[in-house]
Amino acid sequence: MGNPPYGNIEAEMKRFKILNIWVDELNMKQALERVNEFIRIGKGVHTVFASNPEKNFSVPENQFLFSMFKQADMLIPDGIGMVLAARWLYGSNLERVPGCELMQNTCAMAADKGYKIFIYGAKEEVNEAAVETLKKRHPTIEIVGRQNGYLPEDEMPDLIDRINQSGAEILFLALGSPKQELWIATYRDQLKTVRVCQGIGGTLDVLAGTVKRAPEFYCKTGLEWLYRLMSEPSRLKRQLSLPKFAFQVFRSGMMKKRNNRKAEML
C-alpha cells in the first residue's frame, strides 16, 4: 500500500450520481488527504462510507439510511462496478479506493501524526487480534480504545462515554452495512472528539486473519468480487445484484448519449 504523502486538498471533490446512489471522484492519495484535513481542521464528525453496486439497491430501501448516505462527507469508490460506471456515464478517471486499504493507510497516517483511534465492531477475538496486528505493524499507533460489536443497546451510553473519554479522533465501525451507517446516524451528535468515522465492514476479519484478502492479481484486475464469490459461495445471492447493476448502468449511459445527440441536432 506504500506510504502516500499527506497534504492539503487543492480542488473541490466531484460527486457523481450512479443510478440511485453517489460516489466521489478521488484516488487513495486524495482520500487520505481528506481524512487528514477532516481531523486537522474539521468540526464535528465527518463520515466516510463505501459506495458499491450492492448499495445501489439496499441503501434506497431505508429513507433514513438513504439520507445519511447522500450527506456523507466522503463516498469512496470501493467496488470496481462504481469505477466502471463513472467512466461510462461521466468519462471520469476515478480509481478504486477499497475501504479495507483506506482503513489500513489511515492507521499508518495516524501512527505517523499521532492521531488517536477507537475501534468498534466484530467478534471479541477478531477485534482483539486485529488491534494486535495493527500495533505490530505500527509500533507508535495510538489505539486508545476498542469494543466488540456485540454490545447491548442499553450499554451504548457507556460506549459513547468511553469513546469521548479516550479522546479518539478516528472511529472505525466494523458492524457491517447498513448497521454501521445507521449507528453513526444515531450517535454522531453525541461524539465529542471524533472527527472521522469510517464504516469498515469486515476489515477486522482480514486483519485478524480469519478472512483471507484476495490475491494481488484479483485486486489489481478488479476481480476481487470473483475471488470472494469463489471463496464464499454463500455470497451468490448478494452478487446477483452485479449483472442487474451493470445492465441498468449500460442502459442509462445509452439513454444519456442518445439525448446528447438529440440536443446537438437542435
Grid cell locating 155: 450499554
| Per-residue pLDDT band at 11 (split at 50, 70, 90) | very low
256 band by pLDDT with thresholds 50, 70 and 90? confident
**Range 201-234 burial, b when 16+ CB lie within 10 A, else e:** bbbbbbbbeeeebbeeebbeeebbbebbbeeeee
Residue 163 burial (10 A CB sphere; 0-12, 13-18, 19+): buried
The length of the chain in residues reads: 266
Q: Which CATH architecture has domain 15-83+93-214?
A: 3-Layer(aba) Sandwich (3.40)
pLDDT digits (tens, 9 = 90+) for 41-86: 998 999 999 999 989 998 999 888 898 899 999 999 998 899 999 9
- The whole-number average pLDDT for the span 5-26 is 76
pLDDT in tens, 195-243: 999 999 999 999 999 876 666 665 666 666 555 656 666 555 566 778 8
Q: Measure Cα distances from 152 to 16, 148, 163, 198 in Å.
A: 37, 11, 16, 21
Instruction: Find how far residue 35's CA is from the centre of its chain.
Output: 12
Map out the domains of the chain as residue ranges.
15-83+93-214
Q: Of residues 215 and 15, which shows the higher confidence score?
A: 15
Answer whether residue 8 shows pLDDT above 60: no
Cα–Cα distance for residue pair 11/66, rounded to 1 Å: 26
Q: What percent of the chain has pLDDT over 70?
A: 83
Q: Is the pLDDT reported for residue 1 higher than 80? A: no
User: What mean pLDDT comes out for the span 14-31?
Assistant: 95
Q: What percent of the chain has pLDDT over 90?
A: 65
Question: For 171-197, b where at least 16 C-beta lie within 10 A, e where not — what string?
Answer: bbbbbebbebbebbbebbeebebbbbb
Tens-digit pLDDT profile for residues 85-128: 999 999 998 899 999 999 999 999 999 999 999 999 999 999 99
Query: What value does the CA radius of gyration of the chain take, rounded to a whole number of Å?
Result: 19
State the number of CA atoms in the 13 A half-sphere of 260 facing the CB.
8
DSSP string of 4-22, one letter each residue: -------SPPPEEEETTEE
Locus of grid cell 466522503:
74
Q: Which three cell numbers stand for residue 125?
A: 477475538
Q: Output the pLDDT for position 89.
A: 94
